[in-house]
Amino acid sequence: MNPGHHPRRRVLGGALAAGAATLIGAPTPASAASADTARSGGGGKPTVVLVHGAFADASGFNATIGLLQQSGFPVIAPANPLRDTAGDAAYISSVLDTITGPVILAAHSYGGIVITNAARGHAGVKALVYLGAFAPDEGESALQLAQQFPGSELGTALIPRPYPLPGGPGTDGYIAPEKFRAVFAADLPAAETRLMAATQRPGSVEGLSGPSGAPAWKTIPSWYLIPTQDKVIPPAAQRFMAKRAGSKVTEIRSSHVVMISHPKAAAGVIKAAHTATR
């Protein structure tokens, strides 16, 4: 073999060049085709955008995503920054800007506040789906709503950890590992919740206490899946928010992480929202 000839380097270099071209706006024909498919909503069905809340990440939707994909729905589950209400909503709104065609916007927990704000101004969002999530009115925060009704055990389970911000330190809240399963996911196996506790993404006090803006549920139809054994957002609080928003409600015996312990129910509510709005 010619010592100056390296097929492996040539292949790798070509792949890197193709990737770089895509990033700077000159996609290859194959990548352009796949991008067009994603942007068009996968050919007939709306794109489902799933927004996670605090103490979790987008992988919590994995089982729900699998069921939706089996039914032909294109799905995106972006990383929620979990820094502050306005900023998190702006980020998810920017994701919506990249999608053409109809969208069903669904969320868990604190993600509900995010979609309530992110959906504003997006005519393509046909339905909001709250999966054990907050559906605030203008000026309300997650902490305020959770404390408005008895039953939340989150406050006494949190460990505060400061982090740097330009204007001074912020504070992240982590659920104490020894309390994680009982408070957050009591109907999941202990081995699974130990991993979830170790990998949890914290909720910032700035995000959890930040006031919501004008709610999109006043102009967009909504669906609500209420886990009746929720120790984070009291079921009474969820019923109050769902009634106020005029949501179509389903209740299920579940812990807070209803999309993990009952993915069929979560996917079913999303599919019902699609059936009613197509």
pLDDT in tens, 177-228: 999 999 999 999 999 999 999 999 999 998 999 999 999 999 999 999 999 9
Domain that holds residue 76: 47-151+206-277
Amino acid letter, 8 = R
Query: 36 in a domain, yes or no?
Result: no
State the DSSP string of 136-166: PPTT--HHHHHHHSTT--SGGGEEEEEE--T
The C-alpha atoms of residue 141 and residue 210 are separated, in whole angstroms, by 5
User: Which pLDDT belongs to residue 167?
Assistant: 87
Distance of CA 82 to the CA centre of its chain: 10
Three-class secondary structure of residue 201 per DSSP: coil
Question: What's the pLDDT at 43?
Answer: 57
CATH number where 80 lies: 3.40.50.1820
Phi, psi of 87 (to 5 degrees): -65, -40
Residue 119 belongs to a domain? yes
- What would the mean pLDDT of 22-31 be, rounded to a whole number? 36
pLDDT grade, residue 17 (50/70/90)?
very low
164, part of any domain: no
SS3 state of residue 76: strand
Asked whether residue 15 is domain-assigned, the answer is no
Angstrom distance (rounded) from CA 44 to CA 31: 20
Average pLDDT, the chain: 88
For residue 184, the model assigns a pLDDT of 98
**Residue 250 located in a structural domain:** yes
In-domain check, residue 158 = no
Structure-model confidence comparison of residues 29 and 92, the more confident one? 92
This prediction's pTM = 0.86
Domain count, the chain: 1
**Where does the pLDDT of residue 127 fall: very low under 50, low under 70, confident under 90, or very high at 90 and above?**
very high
Where does the pLDDT of residue 55 fall: very low under 50, low under 70, confident under 90, or very high at 90 and above? very high
Q: What is the mean pLDDT of residues 65-87?
A: 97
Joined together, the tokens standing for residue 65 give 């995503």
In a domain, 156, yes or no: no
**157 in a domain, yes or no?**
no
Tell me the three state secondary structure of residue 100: coil
